[in-house]
Amino acid sequence: MISLNFIHYDDDRYAYVYAHTKREMLTMLDQIDRIAKRMKTGDDTGVALVSPDYWPLPWYFRNYKRVGYYQQIVPTSEPIIIGSTSQAEQLKSTFGDRYQLLSSGLNEDGSYPLRPGVDLLLYVRRDVAR
């Protein structure tokens, strides 16, 4: 039981595991922290979550003061946008000229696995990505 709950909690081979997140999601959070540090805005960095599925990201962003949970694509100029792979085409057409996809390097589409069946895309405003 300890192995299942604390070590293999995100292993798809175990059908009855309750897990909030995949470990790879932490890579996305590390990227965001690095961007915030580079911008010198820290926890005041703006993040727009436009994905309909984002739980448990509010816990991980609890120290960030400017996070919006929109659950749909909305007009924004925040430096960071997080969307779902199911929104990929709309994200690209809406933000592609001003934002750059920051690939995870974990898979072909550059997404960050949040939990089984939910993969997120990280977009960074082009003036910030440089």
Q: Is 83 inside any structural domain?
A: yes
Number of domains in the chain: 1
Distance CA 70, CA 117 (A): 20
Domain span including residue 29: 21-129
Q: Is 54 within the bounds of a domain?
A: yes
pLDDT tier at 20, thresholds 50, 70, 90: low
Evaluate if residue 123 carries a pLDDT over 60: yes
- Predicted pLDDT at 84: 98
Q: Which tens digit of pLDDT belongs to each residue from 44-68?
A: 999 999 999 998 999 999 999 999 9
Residue 28 has pLDDT above 70, yes or no: yes
For the residues of the chain, what is the DSSP string, one character each? -HIIIIISTT-TT-TT---S--TTHHHHHHHHHHHHHHHT-GGG-EEEE--S--TTHHHHTTT-SEEEE-SS------SEEEEEGGGHHHHHHHHTTTEEE---SSSTT--EEEETTEEEEEEEEHHHH-
Tens of pLDDT, residue by residue over 75-108, are 999 999 999 999 999 999 999 899 999 999 889 9
Query: 12 lies in a domain?
Result: no
Q: Is residue 90 part of a domain?
A: yes
Report pTM.
0.85
pLDDT at 5 over 80: no
Peptide bond into 116 cis (omega under 30): no
